[in-house]
Chains A and B, each alone.
Chain A
Amino acid sequence: MENAKDITEYKFSDIIASPSIKERFEKVRKYFFLRESTYDMSNRCNLRCEGCYYYAGETEKQFAEENLNPADWQQLMEAEKERGITFVVLAGAEPSYVPELCKTCYDTIPLGCIASNGLMPLAKEIDYRIHISVWGNDKTSLEIRKAKNMLVRQMENYQGDSRAIWVYTFTPVNIDQAREVTETLAANNHQITFNMFSAPTDYNGHLRHTPQTLAHTRAVMSELLAEFPETVVFSPYNIVAHTHEQGLHSLFSCSYPRMNPSTAIGLGRSFRQYRTDLQWDRAAACCVPDTDCDDCRHYAAGSAVVTARMYRHATTPQHFSAWLDYVDTYLAVWVKGYDKGENLCKEMIEPPEQS
Chain B
Amino acid sequence: MTTDTHQAITRIAEIIINELKLEDVTPETFDADLDLVDEIGIDSMDLATIALVLRDEYGIRIDEDDYPKLTTVRIIAEYITTKLAEKE
Contacts and interface: CB of A to CB of B under 8 A. Distances in A.
Interface string B20-51: 00000000000000000100011111111101
B43 A266 contact: yes
Nearest to A270: B43
B51 A311 contact: yes
Nearest to A269: B37
Contacts of A311: 48, 51-52, 62, 64
B60 interface: yes
Contact of B46 (A1, A32, A308): A32
A263 to B, nearest CB: 8
Contacts of A264: 37, 67-69, 71
Q: Interface majority SS on B: helix, strand, loop or mixed?
A: helix
Interface stretch (A5-13, A117-125, A148-156, A338-346): A5-13
| Contact count band on B | 20 to 34
A1 B67 contact: no
Contact of B44 (A2, A11, A13, A308): A308
B55 A355 contact: no
A265 B60 contact: no
A335 to B, nearest CB: 15
Interface residues of A, number: 29
B8 interface: no
Given A264-B71, A269-B37, A355 B63 contact: yes
A16 B46 CA distance: 16
Contacts of B71: 264
Contacts of B48: 308, 310-311
Given A264-B71, A265-B43, A310 B49 contact: yes
Given A2-B87, A310-B48, A355-B63, A262 B56 contact: no
A267 B51 CA distance: 18
Contacts of A208: none
A270 B41 CA distance: 12
A32 B45 contact: yes
A216 to B, nearest CB: 33
Contacts of A308: 44-45, 48
A265 B55 contact: no
Contacts of B62: 311
A57 B45 CA distance: 32
B43 A312 contact: no
27 contacts: A4-B59, A4-B60, A7-B55, A7-B59, A7-B61, A8-B55, A13-B53, A32-B43, A32-B49, A35-B43, A264-B37, A264-B67, A264-B69, A265-B44, A265-B67, A265-B68, A266-B43, A269-B37, A308-B45, A309-B64, A310-B45, A310-B52, A311-B48, A312-B64, A314-B52, A355-B63, A355-B65
Interface of A: 1-2, 4, 7-8, 11-13, 29, 32, 35, 84, 253, 255, 262, 264-267, 269-270, 307-312, 314, 355
Closest A-B pairs by Cβ, 6 of them: A4-B59, A264-B68, A266-B44, A12-B52, A32-B45, A310-B48
Interface of B: 37, 41-49, 51-53, 55-56, 59-65, 67-69, 71, 86-88
